[in-house]
Structure 1
Amino acid sequence: MKVSDFDFELPQELIAQHPLEKRDSSRLMVLDKKTGELNHKNFHDILEYLGCGDTLVLNNTRVMPARLIGEKEETGSKIEFLLLKRIEGDKWECLAKPGKRAKIGQRFIFGDGKLKCVVVDIVEEGNRIIEFSYEGIFEQVLDELGEMPLPPYITERLEDRERYQTVYSKEEGSAAAPTAGLHFTQELLKKIKAKGVNIAYLTLHVGLGTFRPVKVESTDDHVMHSEFYSLTKEDADLINDTKRKGNRVISVGTTSTRTLETIGDENGFVKEDSGWTNIFIYPGYKFKVIDALITNFHLPESTLIMLVSALSTKENVMNAYNEAVKEKYRFFSFGDSMFIQ
């Protein structure tokens, strides 16, 4: 399948630059995955589409303030490090800009020396392995000195860091938010539970690979980035019980989807597990675990729009996206939502 099959015309003004004042006031497009029928709602109307006994699966990862601006110890020249994942202890894989300033053995300081690092290795795609030194607790130092790593298409400053976190975020480790969950409020979650809908959690730490463009012409040639996931026995049991009773497993976001489909067996059951996934889901994939999906509107030619198309059809999804452009839906991380059922 050609990557260009997933292209569409997106006016720049439809890329949301800031979150709405109220999370669940975003718009919601409901897509029937079989017929392609579309309905236009608001996100708080999601309650109408959830049934007693269904299970929503949420990704409880929390975004790190992973963008560090520092300077070279010897010359004072500026550099930016974007933390991607912890290797072990105080060693991290990161993206350095400009990379030519981050050679092995070179040292950098942040926040007047509160945090220091040395480059210890260069890995695939030019990423660096750096080792930090500091006094105290690393997470507290990072929280003080780091900035929120907003996607490259968001150019406006975010005043409140928490608006790039879900209200249920817990396990810190992501370089980007699982944005499908940004629409939920605590009040809406209470209403969902009161209706008899179960809520299960998993963790997938989102990497920056989610924003990387697909550089090949055919989907067969694309290699996905890997991301760490975990699912507890309690949540696995809840998901399996939902399947046995014939109710729906509804994934909130492509990250939750990729985790569940990685863990799921051929019968759609999951187990307690943790590890790294690089699963690439595109049309032709047969879903094992999930029945429905809540997601945002994604980049043209991205792996995310390919995953969404796999749950319905490419024709249905591309038609929905063209309708979203026509109706001026807001796109990407701070944009509107879609429910595919």
Structure 2
Amino acid sequence: MRVDLFDFDLPQELIALRPVEPRDAARMLVVTPAGLADRAVRDLPACLRPGDCLVFNDTRVIPARLEGRRGEARIEATLHKREGLRSWIAFVRNARRLRVGDSIDFGAGVTALVEAKLDDGSVQLGFPGDEPVELLLERAGQMPLPPYIASKRPTDARDREDYQTMFARSDGAVAAPTAALHFTPRLMEAVAAAGIAHETLTLHVGAGTFLPVKAEDTADHRMHAEWGRIDAATADRLNAVRARGGRIIAVGTTSLRLLESAADAGRVIRPFEGDTDIFITPGHRFCGIDGLMTNFHLPKSTLMMLVSALMGRETMLAAYAHAIAQGYRFYSYGDSSLLLPEG
């Protein structure tokens, strides 16, 4: 399909630079075959049914953006995928100044060696020593805010908390599963009281989620792989939800992509551990989920294609036009939508 079919005009002032407080006070646009409804995130329990199950991504964002020098050259690296105990693949600004074997000084006693330069322009970095890489990043790294936020204001200490969900426990993401940023303990209590279950899985979100689609046709776009895991017990409980007539509602496109990677054609969710580079576009048959809670996405992005696959392109373009007209806040720190293809 042509990528420009997923384009729309977004006023820059609707890009949220900070989340609302409290988190569950964000607005939520409910999209069903019956039409659109303006709600708030705290209304979520009333928008679902007893027996449904929300599925969250428990990945934890690490401070994966590093600024340093190789000699006189300024180097900025954003780690996006672990390749080994001490090796990471990174998107590097000024990568042309690097050669295999070069050492980069990121300050605070943190250095990295260039282990390889890859065909897609990314760089494999190795961190020498015995100290866990996560501790090195805590010392020298910054939270990797999306470009549409980082280009408008500097990262600060507040982002260390704001850009982390209440479910975060498994280190490894370089982008937050932002749909879950709206959840609070108070909201989760209301969810449970309404008879709605919840489960967690892990998908370490990579910085590739922010890369623009440069191809003119979706068939020519290549997704970056991300590592995920659904254990056997979680898969069994999710299948039991469906067996009892409940729906599986993914909280975020990251949870959705992993569930779709793990589900078979019979709509059975299997245990999964490994990389996935699933690219969901219109025509995809959804087998792992029955609905999606997600923020508002970039024009011509893979995520705009994903929500169009779930609800229909015309429906989503109409929903986004409504959201823009009503002043919804967009992107990672913005408002939410609840997409229910069967109402």
Q: How high is the TM-score relative to the length of structure 1?
A: 0.95
Output the amino acid matched with 1:282: T
**What corresponds to 1:7 in structure 2?**
7
Deviation at 1:180, TM superposition (A): 0.7
**Distance in 1 between residues matched to 2:219 and 2:113, nearest whole Å:** 38
CA deviation profile, 1:276-321 (whole Å, cap 9, x unmatched): 1111111111111211110000000111011101111111110000
Residue 91 (str. 1) matches residue 87 (str. 2): yes
Calculate the aligned-residue CA RMSD, in Å.
Answer: 1.3
Paired residues for 1:39-58 under 5 Å: 39-58=37-56
Is the 8 Å Cα contact of residues 96 and 102 (structure 1) preserved in structure 2? no
**What corresponds to 2:241 in structure 1?**
242
CA deviation profile, 1:66-107 (whole Å, cap 9, x unmatched): 0111122xx343211211112112111112211122211111
Is the 8 Å Cα contact of residues 227 and 277 (structure 1) preserved in structure 2? yes
CA deviation profile, 1:118-166 (whole Å, cap 9, x unmatched): 1111013211111112453332221121100000000223442111011
Paired residues for 1:289-308 under 5 Å: 289-308=288-307
**What corresponds to 1:111 in structure 2?**
107
**What corresponds to 1:147 in structure 2?**
142
Is the 8 Å Cα contact of residues 279 and 302 (structure 2) preserved in structure 1? yes
Is the 8 Å Cα contact of residues 63 and 143 (structure 2) preserved in structure 1? yes
**Distance in 2 between residues matched to 1:265 and 1:57, nearest whole Å:** 18
Residue 162 (str. 1) matches residue 157 (str. 2): no
**What corresponds to 1:331 in structure 2?**
330
Gaps of 5+ in 1: none
Deviation at 1:330, TM superposition (A): 0.4
Is the 8 Å Cα contact of residues 71 and 77 (structure 1) preserved in structure 2? yes
Gaps of 5+ in 2: none
**Distance in 2 between residues matched to 1:126 and 1:92, nearest whole Å:** 14
Identity %: 43
3-state SS of the aligned residue for 1:95?
A: strand
Paired residues for 1:1-341 under 5 Å: 1-32=1-32, 34-35=33-34, 37-72=35-70, 75-112=71-108, 114-134=109-129, 136-154=131-149, 155-157=152-154, 158-160=156-158, 161-341=160-340
**Distance in 2 between residues matched to 1:12 and 1:67, nearest whole Å:** 24
Output the amino acid matched with 2:23: R
Deviation at 1:110, TM superposition (A): 2.3
**Distance in 2 between residues matched to 1:134 and 1:76, nearest whole Å:** 24
Deviation at 1:178, TM superposition (A): 0.7
**Distance in 1 between residues matched to 2:14 and 2:231, nearest whole Å:** 38
**Distance in 1 between residues matched to 2:282 and 2:89, nearest whole Å:** 32
**Distance in 2 between residues matched to 1:217 and 1:293, nearest whole Å:** 27
Does 56-65 or 78-87 show the bigger shift? Answer: 78-87
Output the amino acid matched with 1:80: E
CA deviation profile, 1:212-235 (whole Å, cap 9, x unmatched): 111122222222221111001121
**Distance in 2 between residues matched to 1:226 and 1:138, nearest whole Å:** 21
**Distance in 1 between residues matched to 2:119 and 2:187, nearest whole Å:** 42
| Distance 1:185-1:318 versus aligned 2 partners, 3 A rule | same
3-state SS of the aligned residue for 2:83?
A: strand
